[in-house]
Amino acid sequence: MKIASIVGARPQFIKAAPLSRRLRKGHQELLIHTGQHYDRELSHIFFEQLKIPRPDYNLQVGSGGHGEQTGKMLLKVERVLLKEEPDLVIVYGDTNSTLAGALAAVKLHIKLAHVEAGLRSYNRRMPEEINRVLTDHISDLLFSPSLRAVENLQREGIKEGVYQVGDVMFDALRENIEVARRVSGVMEELGLSEGEFLLLTIHREENTNQFENLNSLVTAITSLEERVVFPAHPRVRKWLRHWGLWERCLTSPNLMIIEPVGYLDMLCLEERAKAVLTDSGGMQKEAYYLRTPCLTLREETEWVELVEGGWNVLVGTKAEKIKRALAHLSLPLQEGNPYGRGEASKRIAEIIGRIGN
Ligand code: UD1
Ligand code: UDP
């Protein structure tokens, strides 16, 4: 089969890496990068570290409002699909690149597969929730990470073509954690000791674009006793400056703002942190896989199993709740893994192979 994989943002490179390798054993894969992320630290470094083949197309769509960005992607992806005529399009996760790729494919009657189908936050104000719901409803093959995700789809009437396969990000982590431990020098470079720092990331629109939330997070983080390492996504940098909070961060003695780090450094930081504080979807799971407590800086999550199991605490953005959770960090016993055994990409490749024959 000729398969077009569409990626564009940081977590999608990580999700695509293990599956791409497997698909290429039996099919022709065409890799399309929308250009949603373009900084070296958000894009190129992941291709290098995860040994992802160079994209066949980089559509260089870049940043913009939701409509502008998604619209440009739709236009450019469609042109490529018309020219290449793939048998199957694969999209990943819940970004604007996901939705644009999905729409372009179905309108051309090309079979569509969605990796990470069925996740729901049930918060329609999140752009990602809209992207997920719409993509799921137009996909032919829905690869879900968990039973809960399959049930979410069933509740919306989507029953055909749904497969519970586990989490492709777990595959990526398993494939890279030993290398990360061996080659990453990030702990020494930053002068960190294991268990003696908190790892922070913020990039969710609701936390950056709303002054109240970002201000509250800055107040909370800068008042902590622990050292906080903060690889800051360009979105949060932009909004910290916009809201006049940047100086407060720079002058705070416990806060270490650094550039976004590569995947291998990130795995090391996640594994060695006392706790991860994040609004990232991927990092909630990685913290769990690496047995590091996680505080999620949101009111809800798609990865509900981790909250129910006590691995992840939803703390929102207020200092009081964050401090209370930090004072009671604990790691429950790990029984099974709701997101599979790290064989998601193998299973997806098998199913795609069966369908293509
Ligand atoms: C996007 C996804 C989000 C995902 C995240 C992963 C959508 C709606 N959001 O959010 O689901 O969790 O990626 O990181 O698709 N910028 C740069 N350099 C870059 C890319 C972006 O400076 O290489 C800046 C631009 O100012 C841009 C802003 O970051 O406006 C936001 O980028 P964008 O891709 O629109 O959204 P993310 O916040 O990255
Ligand atoms: N990540 C990284 N460097 C960073 C921040 C995140 O390598 O500075 C990785 C992280 O380990 C995870 C993925 O990027 O694998 C998560 O992406 P992000 O938080 O941008 O998006 P989300 O998962 O929230 O969609």
Other CB atoms within 10 A of residue 210 CB? 15
Confidence (pTM)? 0.98
- How large is the average pLDDT for residues 185-211? 98
Residue 234 shares a structural domain with residue 307: yes
Residue 74 shares a structural domain with residue 133: yes
> What pairing do the DSSP bridges indicate for beta strands 88-92 and 2-7?
parallel
- How large is the average pLDDT for residues 247-254? 97
Binding site membership of 161 for ligand 2 (Cβ less than 6 Å):
no
Q: What is the pLDDT of residue 334?
A: 76
Is residue 11 within 8 A of residue 203, CB to CB? The reply is no
Binding site membership of 141 for ligand 1 (Cβ less than 6 Å):
no
Give the model's confidence band at 336: pLDDT under 50 very low, under 70 low, under 90 confident, else very high. confident
Residue 295 shares a structural domain with residue 160: no
Q: What is the pLDDT of residue 178?
A: 98
For ligand 2, atom 8: residue with the closest CA: 260
In a domain, 335, yes or no: no
Closest CA to 101 of 127, 78, 85, 118: 78
In a domain, 236, yes or no: yes
Binding site membership of 338 for ligand 2 (Cβ less than 6 Å):
no
**CATH number for the domain that contains residue 72:** 3.40.50.2000
Closest CA to 84 of 31, 19, 150, 141: 31
203 is catalytic: yes
In a domain, 17, yes or no: yes
Q: Which of 27, 37, 114, 203 does the annotation list as catalytic?
A: 203
Residue 96 shares a structural domain with residue 224: no
Give the model's confidence band at 357: pLDDT under 50 very low, under 70 low, under 90 confident, else very high. low
Is residue 167 within 8 A of residue 93, CB to CB? The reply is no
Atom of ligand 1 nearest to the CA of 43: 23
Q: What is the pLDDT of residue 356?
A: 74
Residue 20 shares a structural domain with residue 134: yes
> What residue spans of the chain are helical by DSSP H?
10-26, 44-49, 66-84, 96-107, 127-138, 147-155, 168-183, 186-190, 205-208, 211-222, 234-242, 246-251, 263-272, 281-289, 304-308, 319-327, 344-356
DSSP at 54 = P
In a domain, 191, yes or no: yes
Residue 184 shares a structural domain with residue 105: no
Atom of ligand 2 nearest to the CA of 270: 11
Give yes or no for residue 256 having a pLDDT over 70. Answer: yes
- How large is the average pLDDT for residues 269-277? 98
In a domain, 333, yes or no: no
Binding site membership of 231 for ligand 2 (Cβ less than 6 Å):
yes
Residue 255 shares a structural domain with residue 112: no
Q: To the nearest whole number, what is the mean pLDDT of the chain?
A: 97
Reported as a single tens digit per residue, the pLDDT across 214-248 is 999 999 999 999 999 999 999 999 999 999 999 99
Probe residue for ligand 1, chosen from 33, 37, 134 as the CB with the greatest number of ligand atoms within 8 Å: 37
Question: What is the C-alpha to C-alpha distance for residues 75 and 178, in angstroms, rounded to an integer?
Answer: 41
- How large is the average pLDDT for residues 155-162? 98
The boundaries of the domain holding residue 201 are: 175-327
Q: What is the pLDDT of residue 355?
A: 86
Q: What is the pLDDT of residue 253?
A: 97
Residue 180 shares a structural domain with residue 149: no
Is residue 344 within 8 A of residue 172, CB to CB? The reply is no
Reported as a single tens digit per residue, the pLDDT across 100-130 is 999 999 999 999 999 999 999 999 999 999 9
Backbone dihedral region of 64: left (phi > 0), alpha (psi from -120 to 50 degrees) or beta? Answer: left
Give yes or no for residue 205 having a pLDDT over 80. Answer: yes
Q: Which residues of 54-83 are buried (b: 16+ CB within 10 A; e: fewer)?
A: ebebebebeeeeeeebbebbbebbbebbee
- How large is the average pLDDT for residues 17-33? 98
Residue 96 shares a structural domain with residue 143: yes
Tell how far the Cα of 96 is from the centroid of ligand 1, in angstroms. 9
Residue 153 shares a structural domain with residue 274: no
Query: Total domain count for the chain?
Result: 2
| Neighbouring residues of 151: CB distance < 8 A, sequence distance ≥ 6 | 118
Give yes or no for residue 333 having a pLDDT over 90. Answer: no
Give yes or no for residue 335 having a pLDDT over 90. Answer: no
Instruction: Name the percent of the chain lying above pLDDT 90.
Output: 97
Other CB atoms within 10 A of residue 49 CB? 21
- How large is the average pLDDT for residues 57-86? 98
Residue 193 shares a structural domain with residue 261: yes
DSSP at 202 = -
Q: What is the pLDDT of residue 188?
A: 98
244 burial type by CB count under 10 A (0-12 exposed, 13-18 middle, 19+ buried): exposed
Question: What is the C-alpha to C-alpha distance for residues 188 and 265, in angstroms, rounded to an integer?
Answer: 11
Residue 9 shares a structural domain with residue 51: yes
